[in-house]
Chains A and B, each alone.
Chain A
Amino acid sequence: MKPQHHLDPATLVSYAAGSLPEALAVVAATHLGICPHCRAQLRDAENVGGQLLEQQIPDQAEASRLARMRLTMLDRLDDPALAAPSPVPSREATTTTVDPDRLPEPLHPYFGSSYRALRWRWVAPGVRFLRAAGTRGATLIMLKIAPGKSMPVHSHGGSEITQILQGAYDDALGHFGTGDIADLDSETEHQPVTSPGVPCICVAALDAPLHFPGWLARTMQPLVGL
């Protein structure tokens, strides 16, 4: 599975910089887990962070403070409890067998680990959704859309990023299959149509309310609370 649609470099920069809202970072991480191309980009963006760190000029006025910190550090190195090597805790090796019921790791804290255990809420014919609690400033949702279903035309007040977990959809921007990410600008107005066959399951983050024109919008917006 090689994704064809990648993260916007602007999103990657903010991810690397630690300045992406949590909900967007969760969706980006879900994509990063399966996309070598975006992982390489992420490492480049972190490299920029390292270089910017290197470029910080130490402040002469801080000299006495730094000297005090230095002494504290030397003390800590003398403390066996603190100074002992602490190897990175080895986590269970990534499972090589793909369990089709297992959600991607970054989603576990928000939605649990099993597709079967998800308790979908009905929003409209053929459309079910789930909303994660506790992400500040942006909304994190999962959507399950029946095959061959047309979603309402909508645009965004902010950013929307959507990772396709299962199934596929098409819109004016192209074909989005399993593993692809749609990282959209606020100007984009689109109308996804899910592919026939299997339902399309995706995880999406929105950092501003969606704007739906038309009747379905008026039906959906209060229900979904987006």
Chain B
Amino acid sequence: MQAVAPTDKVSPFEAARIVSAPNAQSGNVTSWSNEMAAVAHSRDRASFMRIYDHFSPRVLRYLQSLGCAEMVAEELAQEALLRLWQRADSYDPQRSKLSTWLFRIARNLYIDRIRREPHWVDTQDWIEQVEASAEAPIAARPAASPDAFADHVALQQRIDALPAAQARLIRMSYFEARTHQEISAELGMPLGTVKSTLRRAFLKLQLAIGKSA
């Protein structure tokens, strides 16, 4: 995909092409850390816009699935990506994949702005701080390593292979922000079953994450 200069006008048709163009990087966790390094060190817009083009539609869908109104989802998605631009230097590929980092940014924005839990973000920062002072980076595999890519593929496969009930509860938790109680009420499933199903699903997915295997 071409880097787009700030002055470029993008017609709706071209925009469609942007969305549908097979992204060479799609799903390739290994190159994102190079793009992020370019953003952090030289404020490289082309790199940023490649990240933007790949992730902003995904972040937008995520926020919409959480029930954000269209305009609100748009604004929060933009803010999430702008934060990536502003704080690129605090991204550490040794600690997390870019998709995970962005997921956390978007989730935190949702909890802060939509759910209005004003202390959540501070608490997550605190946990990160404790983590940084207490232990070596927990991801034993740098995001840019072949091992990390293998993990990524394995995780994808595990998600796709989840039994329907487990997949549904994972989806309701991550994409609809439903509590255990809400899932239980909505599906008419005992609370204990909701928890044991989520537990089984997570343990299965964890097997795909190298360091836990």
Contacts and interface: CB of A to CB of B under 8 A. Distances in A.
Nearest to A208: B181
A188 B117 CA distance: 30
A200 B51 CA distance: 50
Interface residues of A, number: 77
Contacts of B170: 13, 48, 52
Contacts of A207: 179-181
A51 B135 contact: no
A165 to B, nearest CB: 16
Nearest to B172: A19
A53 B155 contact: no
A13 B159 CA distance: 14
B65 to A, nearest CB: 8
Closest 10 CB pairs of A and B: A67-B15, A50-B100, A58-B57, A50-B99, A10-B195, A63-B16, A10-B198, A56-B58, A49-B103, A19-B177
Interface of A: 8-10, 12-14, 17-22, 25-26, 29, 32-34, 36, 39-56, 58-60, 62-67, 69-78, 82-88, 91, 93-94, 105-106, 109, 137, 158-159, 185-187, 207-208
Interface of B: 4, 6, 8-12, 14-16, 18-20, 27, 43, 45, 48-49, 52-53, 55-62, 74, 77-78, 81-82, 85-90, 95-104, 106-108, 110-111, 115, 117-120, 122-123, 125-127, 129-131, 133-135, 138-139, 152, 155-156, 159, 170-171, 173-181, 190-192, 194-196, 198-199, 201-203, 205-206, 209, 211-212
8 contacts: A10-B198, A17-B177, A18-B108, A52-B171, A52-B174, A54-B27, A54-B156, A73-B49
